[in-house]
A and B are shown apart, each in its own frame.
Chain A
Amino acid sequence: MSIWWLALVIGAIVSMGSGFIWLALQLGGAKPRKKAADSFEDAAKEDVEHIFNEEFREELRNRGRLHFEKILGENAMFLQQDLRLTTAQLNDYMKGEISKDLKEAFANYQNAITDAKQLAVESIEKTKTAIDEERAGLVALLEKEVGEEKERRIQQFDTHLAQIVNHYVLAAIGNQIDLNDQLEYILNELEANKAAIIKDVRGGA
């Protein structure tokens, strides 16, 4: 609305200026028509020429110029005042509009930022909750795994401990036990397995 108003004012000023210029040109550049055929008219013309001689014309021209300059100056002053007023109004209007737009934009931004912040906070809360749950699950799983591994290793250690001790005892004994001392043990063991040996021997290959 204000732009149209501004354009209308500028158009009026331009058209007024054009009118003044055209009028000045008409006053300065108009030449009396020459009518050679009619002597009366020539006489009248001469009288007119006599009355409106060059000095008078120059005087009129000067007056017109001065008048035009005066009007032009006044109009320019008015125009300047109007322009200043319009500019001031335009500035105020623009300031108001821009301030309003900026306020709206800032309000929107503020709302958007608040929403985004809220979303971010909610997301962080959810993530934190999920991480806490995940951590709790992992801790439980880890404790379980560690417990199982501990149990398994203890069992393995127990099993291997016996094997290690056996191996160590056997290695330490080595060939230290005389075979003659073992005879009774060997015969007892053979006696214990006699039935199975006889069965296999008699069964044959």
Chain B
Amino acid sequence: MEHKQDAAISRQFVLPTLIFGLPEVRRLKRELESLDDFLRQSTIRDPGRQPQLPRLSRLCEALAAENGLNLLQEADRQQLQAFLGSLEGQAPTLHISFAADPSSAFTAKIVTWLRTQIHPYALLQVGLQPTIAAGCIVRTANKEFDLSLGQEFIKHENLLLQAFEAEAVLPVAQAAEAAPPQPTIPTAEVA
């Protein structure tokens, strides 16, 4: 099995953007295993009495198509299985928390960037953290990158303080200038 995995790793597989993270990888593995079982059982059955081939998921079809694999071939299935196994065990996983639940298109864009800029087999684990407000927090195996708006505010806190100080000086001068003259009551009215 390890030998097969090494062989799969040695070949450059393409990981479709639809496959975001580990849950998809595991689902693909299970699907591939069930397909493998079905095809093995079909060989045992009498010709013409085999049940209908199960329909593959969109992810599985995309993975096979992008890598030019025929899943009816056992060798291709084994290669893909080995690749998914190695992916499950070795692929770098990045946990990214957002303020809201991201859409698939948004996630796909992020995954595309990760696969092109960070690692071709990078997997994404999406988290939800409403306190972020805007931006995201990226957690790798060893580090945490706070790319949120709150962190940005903290970084530029001095600008805010400077603005406050500048604004605090102005109103005093303006108030002194704009202060209305004290109303004087005529002595006749007072009397």
Contact = CB atoms under 8 A, between A and B. Distances in A.
Contact of B99 (A179, A187, A198): A179
Contacts, number: 102
B94 A201 contact: yes
B110 A194 contact: no
A170 B133 contact: yes
B100 interface: yes
A162 B161 contact: yes
Given A175-B100, A200-B141, A201-B119, A193 B147 contact: yes
B136 interface: yes
Nearest to A193: B145
Nearest to A171: B133
A26 interface: no
B179 to A, nearest CB: 25
Given A173-B149, A175-B100, A175-B130, A189 B142 contact: no
Contact of A189 (B140, B147, B153): B147
B131 A170 contact: yes
A185 B135 contact: yes
A183 B150 contact: no
A180 B138 contact: no
B102 interface: yes
B118 A180 contact: no
Interface residues of B, number: 37
B187 interface: no
A166 B154 contact: yes
Given A179-B102, A200-B140, A201-B122, A170 B135 contact: no
Nearest to A158: B161
A48 to B, nearest CB: 139
A123 to B, nearest CB: 53
A205 B145 contact: no
A36 interface: no
Interface string B136-172: 1010111101010110011001001100100000000
A29 interface: no
A177 B102 CA distance: 12
Contact of A177 (B117, B133, B147): B133
B10 interface: no
B27 interface: no
Nearest to B159: A162
Interface of A: 158, 161-163, 165-166, 169-171, 173-175, 177, 179-180, 182-183, 185-187, 189-191, 193-194, 196-198, 200-205
Interface of B: 92, 94, 98-100, 102-103, 105-106, 109-110, 113, 117-119, 122, 130-131, 133-136, 138, 140-143, 145, 147, 149-150, 153-154, 157, 160-161, 164
